[in-house]
Amino acid sequence: MDSFSTPDHWYRVLIALVVIYLIASIFRFLWHPLGHIPGPLFSRFSTIPLFLQSLSGARAGWIVAQHEKYGPVIRIAPDKVAVSSASGIKAIYNNKNSKSHAYDSFRFQEVKMCIALLDVKQAHTRRKALLPAFSRQNLMEMEFVMRHHLEKFLDWLEKFDDTNTPVDTFKWFRYLTFDVVTDIAFGQQIGMLSSNDTHFIEQVEYRNKRNSLNGPFPFILPVMRLLRMETAKKWDRADEEIASYAVRAREGWAKAGEANRHRVDILSRMEQGSKTNPETALSDKEIIATMMEILNAGSDTTANTAMFAAYELARNPAIQEELHQELVTAFPDPNTPLDFAVLEKLPILDGVCREALRIHAPIPSYLERVISEDGIQIEGYDVPKGTVIGMQAYTNHRDSVVYPQPEEFIPRRWFEATEEMKTSFLPFSAGPRACIGLNLANMQLRIHLGHIFHRYRVTLAEDTNEASMKHVEFFMVRPISQKCNLYFKKYKS
Ligand code: HEM
């Protein structure tokens, strides 16, 4: 028998590995360059606590709890530092620090999505190709497309009026945003509102989970594949399905011809940009990767914010009434379209959107960067070059000094927002890698919520409560129950 396959040999290899791990852990504990930074004892020599928290979807809350115990700068793994102080925003999210390898999973085959480009300069070129498509002016020209899908949604909602049947807004707001995003991005009607088919949404869910776990812990997927786990197959299949949808959508877009598509859809901008400006030209694979990225980043985030806003309004009827009054005062005729130019100036609607983004930030996560060059100093701590460091919106949005009663949904707090409130508000991150789709998200939120609460009164269904809406986080946040049932009742005019 080959000596490598004897049980005795494997036994020795195992012991050697354990010894190496223990020695490395002792080294990390005693002499690591981050040894002066406080944090939970076990996290100082092992990644296991962070890994377990990530696996259970409870990482964001766990990091908040560690900050409360150990202060604004903490070590959450041997080589990772988390910061909660606002002074960290500029020091971390700037032109110098690159992203970490936690983003490596965001790719189409070998081509990285924008979010996964580590280097700021490299990302700048990709962002330059995309940003014109997301400009306010370009999106204003697409307002009619958003309204078209919303009208379909509102017509569909009428079926539930007076029937005492709840609507699962976790599902249906996703249908709505997928229909809007695929139309304004690729001129394609994915038709989720009409098909009520959750299959594609499930694929996006699998993909989010895979990216959020296999990015920071890249051993997960290979181990799952080795163990032939069904989830690994689902994750891989989801990736292929979303890619093939993007390829088909692009073919459909090309076949439709210029006369039959929206002049300003995002794909048109990308294709046009590629032809006219060699500096920002995207390859075929980069275009597909970007389309996949738009599907992932552009739908769930907005849908979840609208869902959490509707949930908060359902459990705060006085605020809901205030919003409704604001809307009917601005648009007294129920048959006139609700223009975004007016909606965006309504203070309660604005406060509602901000509070939903603050308490239920769709990407509440620890967003990793790598400290460049000479290192930095934050809150009196030296953080050396090469350290993985990050902040999370979830922590900053719960700072009770900046936002008194941070867990309370108080839209009016934004009427006289302090500089500290504005600085600590990070739903779209900050600096040169902040969200590209911010204008689109803000516009959709105001158009969707404005139209819905102009026409409907919303109340909680019996199974929707704090426990069912508890956050779980896999890069993006969702309610633990994966549903949010609400009753919609139309105002009688
Ligand atoms: C409420 C809705 C949204 C929220 C809260 C949100 C939040 C974020 C955050 C926090 C980041 C930074 C991620 C990081 O640094 O790791 C980000 C990046 C990004 N978002 Fe959004 N997003 C939203 C909607 C959208 C939409 C509608 C699109 C496009 C259709 C989009 C496209 C992107 C892209 C491409 C990036 C990567 C930018 C880069 O790495 O340079 N997002 N988003």
Ligand 1 center–CA 434 separation, angstroms: 7
User: Atom 30, ligand 1: which residue's CA is nearest?
Assistant: 298
Q: What is the per-residue pLDDT across 50-103, written as a single tens digit (0 to 9) for each?
A: 999 999 999 999 999 999 999 999 999 999 999 999 999 999 999 999 999 999
Atom of ligand 1 nearest to the CA of 429: 10
Closest of 443, 362, 475, 450 to residue 137, by C-alpha: 443
Query: H/E element holding 489?
Result: strand 485-490
Atom of ligand 1 nearest to the CA of 299: 27
Q: At what angle do helices 266-276 and 169-186 cross, to 10 degrees?
A: 30
pLDDT mean across residues, the chain: 90
User: Atom 9, ligand 1: which residue's CA is nearest?
Assistant: 428
User: Atom 36, ligand 1: which residue's CA is nearest?
Assistant: 435
| Known binding residues | 435
Which residue do the tokens 């993985």 mark? 388
C-alpha 351/C-alpha 409 separation (Å) is 9
Ligand 1 center–CA 58 separation, angstroms: 21
Ligand 1 center–CA 294 separation, angstroms: 9
Ligand 1 center–CA 393 separation, angstroms: 13
Residue 395 near residue 126, CB atoms below 8 Å: no
What mean pLDDT do residues 352-356 have? 98
- What proportion of the chain, given as a percentage, has pLDDT over 70? 97
Closest of 87, 161, 89 to residue 429, by C-alpha: 89
Please state the separation of Cα 345 from the chain's center in Å.
Answer: 25
Ligand 1 center–CA 67 separation, angstroms: 25
Atom of ligand 1 nearest to the CA of 367: 16
- Burial of 472 from C-beta contacts in 10 A (0-12 / 13-18 / 19+): middle
C-alpha 291/C-alpha 224 separation (Å) is 28
C-alpha 367/C-alpha 118 separation (Å) is 12
User: Atom 43, ligand 1: which residue's CA is nearest?
Assistant: 435
Q: Which amino acid, 227?
A: L
Q: What is the per-residue pLDDT across 187-212, written as a single tens digit (0 to 9) for each?
A: 887 888 888 778 888 888 888 888 88
The least confident of 20-29, 69-78, 401-410, 457-466 is 20-29
Residue 3 above 60 pLDDT? no
pLDDT score, position 339: 94
Which residue do the tokens 């009827």 mark? 317
Closest of 397, 464, 386, 411 to residue 60, by C-alpha: 397
Residue 454 near residue 338, CB atoms below 8 Å: yes
The residues that bridge with 392 in the sheet, in sequence order, are 366
Ligand 1 center–CA 458 separation, angstroms: 29
User: Atom 35, ligand 1: which residue's CA is nearest?
Assistant: 436
What mean pLDDT do residues 433-458 have? 95
| Known binding residues for heme | 435
Confidence of residue 1 (pLDDT cuts 50, 70, 90): very low
User: CA dihedral defined by 100, 104, 107, 111, rounded to 10 degrees?
Assistant: 80
The least confident of 135-139, 349-353, 411-415 is 135-139
The pair phi, psi for residue 117, each rounded to 5°, is: -75, 120
User: Atom 11, ligand 1: which residue's CA is nearest?
Assistant: 435
Q: Which amino acid, 318?
A: A
C-alpha 370/C-alpha 97 separation (Å) is 5
C-alpha 290/C-alpha 366 separation (Å) is 23
What mean pLDDT do residues 316-333 have? 97
Ligand 1 center–CA 99 separation, angstroms: 14
C-alpha 418/C-alpha 396 separation (Å) is 14
Question: Ligand 1 pocket: which of 103, 282, 435, 448 to mutate (most atoms <8 Å of CB)?
Answer: 435
C-alpha 279/C-alpha 127 separation (Å) is 12
Atom of ligand 1 nearest to the CA of 290: 35
What mean pLDDT do residues 297-309 have? 94
User: Atom 42, ligand 1: which residue's CA is nearest?
Assistant: 437
| DSSP letter string, 60-108 | HHHHHHHHHHH-SEEEEETTEEEE-STHHHHHHSSSSPEE-GGGTT-EE
User: Atom 14, ligand 1: which residue's CA is nearest?
Assistant: 367
C-alpha 212/C-alpha 451 separation (Å) is 33
pLDDT score, position 392: 97
What mean pLDDT do residues 126-142 have? 88
pLDDT score, position 4: 52
User: Atom 1, ligand 1: which residue's CA is nearest?
Assistant: 302
Q: What single DSSP character describes residue 261?
A: S
Query: H/E element holding 388?
Result: strand 388-392
Ligand 1 pocket list (CB less than 6 A): 114-115, 123, 127, 181, 293-294, 297-298, 301-302, 305, 362-363, 367, 427-429, 433, 435-437, 440-441
- What is each CA distance from 68 to 72, 358, 429, in whole angstroms? 8, 19, 22
C-alpha 338/C-alpha 343 separation (Å) is 7
Residue 243 above 50 pLDDT? yes
pLDDT score, position 262: 65
Ligand 1 center–CA 312 separation, angstroms: 23
Q: At what angle do helices 438-455 and 169-186 cross, to 10 degrees?
A: 130
**Both tokens of residue 452?**
């819905």
Closest of 295, 39, 67 to residue 186, by C-alpha: 295
The pair phi, psi for residue 481, each rounded to 5°, is: -80, -10
pLDDT score, position 313: 98
Atom of ligand 1 nearest to the CA of 434: 12
Closest of 330, 322, 358 to residue 346, by C-alpha: 330
pLDDT score, position 7: 64
User: Atom 7, ligand 1: which residue's CA is nearest?
Assistant: 428
What mean pLDDT do residues 38-55 have? 91
Residue 162 above 80 pLDDT? no
pLDDT score, position 342: 97
User: Atom 21, ligand 1: which residue's CA is nearest?
Assistant: 435
Atom of ligand 1 nearest to the CA of 440: 27
Atom of ligand 1 nearest to the CA of 103: 16
Q: Which residues contact 333 (CB under 8 A, 6 or more apart)?
A: none
C-alpha 128/C-alpha 279 separation (Å) is 9
Residue 224 above 50 pLDDT? yes
Confidence of residue 263 (pLDDT cuts 50, 70, 90): low
Ligand 1 center–CA 320 separation, angstroms: 28
Residue 184 near residue 142, CB atoms below 8 Å: yes
The least confident of 16-25, 180-189, 420-429, 477-486 is 16-25
Residue 71 near residue 38, CB atoms below 8 Å: yes
Ligand 1 center–CA 120 separation, angstroms: 15
Confidence of residue 45 (pLDDT cuts 50, 70, 90): confident
Ligand 1 center–CA 132 separation, angstroms: 15
The least confident of 69-73, 162-166, 287-291 is 162-166
- What proportion of the chain, given as a percentage, has pLDDT over 90? 56
Confidence of residue 6 (pLDDT cuts 50, 70, 90): low
